Amino acid sequence: MAMVILSDWLAAQLDKTSVEPAYRQLLQLMQQAILTGQLAPGTKLPSSRLLAGDLGIARNTVLHVYDQLGAEGYVLSTTGSGTYVADTRPDSAAVSPRPDAATRAVPGPSPRGDMSVRGQRLIDEAGVSARQWGAFMPGVPDVAEFPARTWSRLQSRLWKSVSPDLLTYAPGGGYRPLRRALSDYLRVARSVRCTPDQIIITTGIHQSIDLAVRLLADTGDRAWVEEPCYWGARSVLQASGIKLAPIPVDDEGLDPRELDLRHPPRIALVTPSHQYPLGMVMSLARRRTLLEYARQHKVWIIEDDYDSEFRYGSRPLASLQGLDDSGQVIYVGSLGKLLFPGLRVGYMVVPERLVGAFRTGVAELYREGQLMQQAVLAEFIMDGCLTTHVRRMRTLYGERRQLLIDAVTRHFGDALPVMGDEAGLHFVLGLPEHCDDRVVTAASYDAGVIVRPLASYYFGKRQRQGLLTGYACVPHEAIGPAFATLARVIETHAFGTRRTAGTVGTASTPRERVA
């Protein structure tokens, strides 16, 4: 493209009515012309004075564009002799190097798609839901009840005089006053035995498991997971190359078979206080056996204690960590279900001999920060707001749980069992064997009610059909109507359109019955 043609082309392209400044337009046009080869390497550009005149724009604009083209390597300027288009064409020898004999001898990787094998599996098996709020989303607390005003007041006060230390990266382990507050809380509430030093603040259970697995297990190592278990934990383990060995659970919790016991895993991930998702408690005999097995075979136990503060009818049960004398347990928990999930604050309690490694590891892998939020949280806990809130929510969720159980019983009698309702934020509503819980879940979602199919939690063949049904985040008065919708969906899929034995009333008049 000769100079005069360039000016004409640019003049035709420039849109002086656009909100895009002339500088940006001209820069992009010239870059495009050079990249596409319209302006060939070696072409001399018109002088800035000439081009500015031709285009009717300020000469300074053209000068800035030429400067930027020079800085980015599109053109070369030689003082006195003008500005030339640089040769920036890709080096074809570099793009397609001549393969050598050694390379030919080694079979290349098989052709792959965009994703990796593990990435594709992660996406294919993902359990995460598109909606995260509403009846009967399991595992989500009622964030509308969170004392946002108290939180905001503490936050405003701390932001009034900010120390630079709290705005930069966190030292490994997290904000010390928060670790101290948490160790006090965990000792009383969860019978966890630890010093503040043993606490590592993370962004939640996912990060805690991720860190433990990367520091303690290698690609190809095996992990026992409960069958069924939380899909998210499974995804995190698999994304780190861990092979999963699903171990059955019965009424006493984890129940390894003799064959399982003969092959000690590197890691055992368990939910002893409240099996997720089925809800049973691991018996003391099983706990002691597991701890002794772990000690003898050097198995790391990850105890995921995600929601056992909410136990209805009895005090919370002690953690497995509190029974551990040989330092084989990594205890992980989160404040998301106690306060609000978006908080993204979790913690892990690690044996003393691992403290140094975990502090370095968390800083090296994730570059933690969020110290201002940790400071707010520390004040919140030290002011007693955490225990007050948990106590209040325990009562509230207990009432909602009862309302929902009553609705189930009124509608289905004992045709559908309610499982694992002693603690937590959800229970499992059993479905008849012939009924596909995934199909019921999808139909329920379309009708506006969220549940989760038990199927998502099984790694191998699912052993029962059921729906994880969360009551915590549903206001009392919304439970009846939402359950009526769910009941209609279940009836259609589980019993055709027939009413079941125990049904009293009809699904179309639920409001009167529950309100």
Q: For residues 244-283, which are near a copy of itself according to CB under 8 A? A: 256, 258, 261-263, 266, 281, 283
Selected range binding a copy of itself among 6-14, 349-357, 441-449, 451-459, rule: CB under 8 A: 349-357
For a copy of itself, which residue of 25, 183, 198, 203 counts as binding (CB under 8 A)?
A: 203
Does position 353 interact with a copy of itself (CB under 8 A)? The reply is yes
Is 165 exposed, middle or buried, given 0-12, 13-18 or 19+ CB atoms closer than 10 A? exposed
Residues 22-41 that bind a copy of itself (CB under 8 A): 24, 31, 35
The answer to whether 187 and 392 have CB atoms below 8 angstroms apart is no
Q: Which helix (H) or strand (E) holds 124?
A: helix 117-124
The answer to whether 62 and 26 have CB atoms below 8 angstroms apart is yes
Angle 408-409-415 from CA coordinates, rounded to 5°: 90
Q: CB of residue 107 vs a copy of itself: minimum separation in angstroms?
A: 13
Does position 366 interact with a copy of itself (CB under 8 A)? The reply is yes
- Indicate the residue among 4 and 144 with the shorter CB distance to a copy of itself: 144
User: How many residues bind a copy of itself, per CB under 8 A?
Assistant: 127
Is 93 exposed, middle or buried, given 0-12, 13-18 or 19+ CB atoms closer than 10 A? exposed
326, amino acid identity: S
Which residues, 6+ apart, have CB-to-CB distance to 53 below 8 Å?
none
Three-state DSSP at 238 gives helix
- The C-alpha R_g of the chain, in whole angstroms, comes to 31
Selected range binding a copy of itself among 138-146, 301-309, 382-390, 403-411, rule: CB under 8 A: 138-146
Q: Can you tell me the distance from the alpha carbon of 84 to that of 299, in angstroms, rounded to the nearest whole number?
A: 67
- Indicate the residue among 317 and 514 with the shorter CB distance to a copy of itself: 317
For a copy of itself, which residue of 3, 239, 355, 442 counts as binding (CB under 8 A)?
A: 239
Residues 175-194 that bind a copy of itself (CB under 8 A): 188
Which residues, 6+ apart, have CB-to-CB distance to 275 below 8 Å?
226, 249, 253, 281, 282, 420
- Indicate the residue among 178 and 489 with the shorter CB distance to a copy of itself: 178
For a copy of itself, which residue of 60, 152, 195, 388 counts as binding (CB under 8 A)?
A: 152
Does position 148 interact with a copy of itself (CB under 8 A)? The reply is yes
Selected range binding a copy of itself among 2-10, 136-144, 396-404, 437-445, rule: CB under 8 A: 136-144
Q: Which helix (H) or strand (E) holds 439?
A: helix 437-446
Q: CB of residue 266 vs a copy of itself: minimum separation in angstroms?
A: 8
Does position 18 interact with a copy of itself (CB under 8 A)? The reply is no
Q: CB of residue 394 vs a copy of itself: minimum separation in angstroms?
A: 15
Three-state DSSP at 82 gives strand
Q: Report residue 344 as tokens.
A: 């993204």
Q: CB of residue 106 vs a copy of itself: minimum separation in angstroms?
A: 9
Q: Can you tell me the distance from the alpha carbon of 443 to that of 466, in angstroms, rounded to the nearest whole number?
A: 14
Does position 126 interact with a copy of itself (CB under 8 A)? The reply is yes
Q: CB of residue 237 vs a copy of itself: minimum separation in angstroms?
A: 11
Closest CA to 334 of 322, 318, 346: 346
Q: Report residue 270 as tokens.
A: 């368990």
Helix runs in 319-423, H state only: 355-366, 371-382, 385-412
Q: Report residue 59 as tokens.
A: 């000469």
Residues 209-238 that bind a copy of itself (CB under 8 A): 210, 214-219, 221, 232, 235-236
Name the one residue in this structure whose structure tokens are 């439970």: 479
- Indicate the residue among 318 and 405 with the shorter CB distance to a copy of itself: 318
For a copy of itself, which residue of 3, 50, 63, 318 counts as binding (CB under 8 A)?
A: 318
Residue 136 gets which letter from DSSP?
Answer: B
Q: CB of residue 456 vs a copy of itself: minimum separation in angstroms?
A: 12
Q: CB of residue 497 vs a copy of itself: minimum separation in angstroms?
A: 35
Closest CA to 240 of 228, 265, 227, 222: 222
Selected range binding a copy of itself among 43-51, 286-294, 412-420, 477-485, rule: CB under 8 A: 286-294
For a copy of itself, which residue of 117, 384, 461, 512 counts as binding (CB under 8 A)?
A: 117
For a copy of itself, which residue of 367, 433, 434, 512 counts as binding (CB under 8 A)?
A: 367
Provide the mask over 68-107, with x wherever binding to a copy of itself is found by CB under 8 A and - wherever it is not.
x--xxxx-----------xxxxxx--xxxxxxx--x----
Q: CB of residue 470 vs a copy of itself: minimum separation in angstroms?
A: 12
Pairing of strands 300-304, 329-334: parallel
Does position 407 interact with a copy of itself (CB under 8 A)? The reply is no
Is 101 exposed, middle or buried, given 0-12, 13-18 or 19+ CB atoms closer than 10 A? exposed
Q: Report residue 169 as tokens.
A: 């990266």
Is it true that the peptide bond before 136 is cis, omega within 30 degrees of 0?
Answer: yes
The answer to whether 158 and 165 have CB atoms below 8 angstroms apart is no
- Indicate the residue among 363 and 405 with the shorter CB distance to a copy of itself: 363
For a copy of itself, which residue of 122, 382, 419, 478 counts as binding (CB under 8 A)?
A: 122
For a copy of itself, which residue of 2, 11, 42, 116 counts as binding (CB under 8 A)?
A: 116
- Indicate the residue among 202 and 469 with the shorter CB distance to a copy of itself: 202
Does position 405 interact with a copy of itself (CB under 8 A)? The reply is no
The answer to whether 141 and 307 have CB atoms below 8 angstroms apart is no
- Indicate the residue among 260 and 436 with the shorter CB distance to a copy of itself: 260
Name the one residue in this structure whose structure tokens are 């097995």: 293
Beta bridge partners of 225: 246, 269
Residues 476-495 that bind a copy of itself (CB under 8 A): none
